[in-house]
Structure 1
């Protein structure tokens, strides 16, 4: 089983609590155009460096779903984490969820300045999005047990170190649940 599956149970436990606390849930997934006109040849090369493997837009051998193509099984949130209809979805086209997407506008329209991060791959898409968020002035918190990678373990360790050293904070689901449950459901009116 892939190490990325370890992040599912913590995510499943925290999502209902966050929704109850009216914390917006934003799913940021790859969602390329089927014709790949939004992807440069250099980026296509990264995912299939030899030209003999399965790269962006190519059908997966197991079910023929085109890799990271919007609307395909290979770009969807996994079945074990069903998004709520009120959740927000953002398709991205690079490692960072901020590059050429409406993510920053959505967050600013929601008046959000603190972002919680979880997902895969920690050392690639998650860290790139978190770094861009930090550069844009957001406060960033990475959930270590809601984040995983298919890369070697030292990549995860370097990601956790870099986040806590340079870009934000690292926490876990238990601490986040405790904080969320300690908040009153209806904050008192300051007036």
Structure 2
């Protein structure tokens, strides 16, 4: 487990914890998505952030934004829920919907802006992680089976040890949410609970 959770080589990543994905007045909720799961993960995310900071694990906030320069034909016409029309209805750059939901980066935290599902596509995330001497990434956020899993897969392909936090990730379709964890464990890395991660870090602290 140390190769996945070693504080000296690990970065905690928060994926798309933003108003449009989590808030009851955000775009996803207005399209009929049940966002209660996204809201319920916040205490676990905050607990992970608190414990990560205590042992100097860097924290990266992934922030989805869209504008007219990042919208392609394929992106516009991808499968979406009923009620979705304009791709700029979600996370339009500079809008309230792009703002973080109940989590706030500190000055020392890192914000990476993305325009596709994966936090690695078209961003500096890989460069940032390598400059932090990171070998392992711990992923939280929404949606489990879309942006979290896409980032996890790409992270694995780039040779990072990948952990997805089960009770700090949320999806809108329960079956797909749960399937992600099975898929990660079978092919890409680890799927753990918040307490498992924190308990492991606590044991390391007690040995110092």
The residue that corresponds to 2:72 in the other structure is 40
Structure having greater relative contact order (Cα 8 Å, sep ≥ 6): 2
Which among 140, 156, 167 is matched to residue 134 of structure 1? 156
Which among 160, 180, 183 is matched to residue 162 of structure 1? 183
Which among 82, 97, 111 is matched to residue 74 of structure 1? 97
Q: What's the TM-score once normalised by structure 1's chain length? A: 0.84
Separation in 2, partners of 1:148, 1:16:
20
Separation in 1, partners of 2:76, 2:91:
11
The answer as to 2:39 corresponding to 1:5 is: yes
Give the SS at the match of 1:163: helix
Give the SS at the match of 1:57: helix
The answer to whether the 8 A contact 1:70-1:91 is kept is no
Give the CA deviation at 1:53.
3.6
The residue that corresponds to 2:115 in the other structure is 93
Give the CA deviation at 1:3.
1.7
Q: Which has the larger radius of gyration?
A: 1
What is the number of equivalent residue pairs in this alignment? Answer: 174
Which among 121, 126, 129 is matched to residue 143 of structure 2? 121
Give the CA deviation at 1:27.
0.7
The residue that corresponds to 2:199 in the other structure is 178
Q: Show structure 1 runs of 4+ deviating over 6 A.
A: none
The answer to whether the 8 A contact 1:48-1:55 is kept is no
The answer as to 2:145 corresponding to 1:145 is: no
In terms of fraction of residues, the more helix-rich structure is: 2
Separation in 2, partners of 1:48, 1:120:
16
Separation in 2, partners of 1:12, 1:165:
28
From the superposition, tell whether residues 19 and 53 of structure 1 become closer, same or farther in structure 2 (CA, over 3 Å): same
Q: What's the TM-score once normalised by structure 2's chain length? A: 0.77
From the superposition, tell whether residues 185 and 31 of structure 1 become closer, same or farther in structure 2 (CA, over 3 Å): farther
Give the CA deviation at 1:121.
0.1
- What stretches of structure 2 of length at least 5 have no aligned partner? 1-34
Give the CA deviation at 1:186.
10
- What stretches of structure 1 of length at least 5 have no aligned partner? 59-66
